[in-house]
Structure 1
Amino acid sequence: MNQAQIDFQQLRIKHILFKSKVRSVLYGGTYDANFFSNHGPVNVWFNSVGLSKYRDLPEMQSLLQVHQELNSTTNLLISRYQSGKIEQAHEGLSKIDELSEKFLDLLAKLEGK
């Protein structure tokens, strides 16, 4: 396995953890503000690895945009959940799944390069 494959595998794992944490919070788990902040594992990966090593790849910019959309959707759903709109928050998980699929597809394209 080369370094790029390792980098992208780390991102895949961090992304799956992110998605799992979103689902957990929306089903009553503990909300970790630091995890969902700019200091969370996926954001740290983009800042320390992704944008420093792979900035010139167009897919990296697309991947970052999808992750930012995941972040904003997550914040909206958590806000809904915390304000008692639990059913609406759960319904929004389909958007998280859709964005996650897009994220993983882009990541697979990056790995193929």
Structure 2
Amino acid sequence: MNQAQVDFQQLRIKHILFKSKVRSVLYGGEKDETFFSRSGPVNAWFSLIGRSRYGSISEMQELARVQQDLDSTADQLFRLYKNGHIEQAMAGLQQLEERSGKFLELLGKLEEKASAHGEL
């Protein structure tokens, strides 16, 4: 497995962990403030790896925007939950899943383009 493959696999794992941690909060767990911060692992991947290594590929910018949307959706769900709107927060998990599908689709396209550009 080369470096680019490792990079994309790391992001997939971080994305799955992101969704898992959102669900955990909505099922009564504690919010991991560090994980969901700007310096958390998903945002750090984009800052340290994604934009520097793959920033020239258009899907990278779009993927970063989808991640920002995922972050905003998670924050909205956390607020709903915190304010006692638990059913609405739980229903919002569907939005998170839809955005996750788009994220994974774009990640696949990014990986294909990186491969075509000889970065894999």
What TM-score, normalized by structure 1, do the two folds share? 0.98
- Is 1:96 aligned with 2:96? yes
Residue 2 of structure 1 deviates from its aligned partner by 1.6
Q: Which amino acid in the other structure matches residue 53 of structure 1?
A: R
Identify the residue that residue 17 of structure 1 maps to in structure 2: 17
| Structure 2 residue ranges without an equivalent (≥5) | 114-120
Aligned position for 2:48: 48
Correspondence list, 1:63-82, <5 A: 63-82=63-82
Q: Deviations along 1:49-73, whole A, 9 cap, x unmatched?
A: 0011111100000100000000001
**CA distance in 2 between partners of 1:52 and 1:76 (Å):** 29
Q: 1:112 deviation in Å?
A: 1.3
Higher-Rg member (1/2): 2
Query: TM-score of the superposition, structure 2-length normalised?
Result: 0.92
After the TM superposition, which segments of 4 or more aligned residues of structure 1 sit over 3 Å from their partners? Answer: none
**RMSD of aligned Cα (Å):** 0.6
Equivalenced residue count is 113
Counterpart check, 1:59 vs 2:38: no
Q: Deviations over 1:1-43 (max 9, x none)?
A: 2211110000000000001100110110111111111011100
- Paired residue type of 2:80: R
Q: Which structure 1 residue ranges, 5 or more long, are not aligned?
A: none
Residues in 1 aligned to 2:56 and 2:97: alpha-carbon distance in whole angstroms: 27
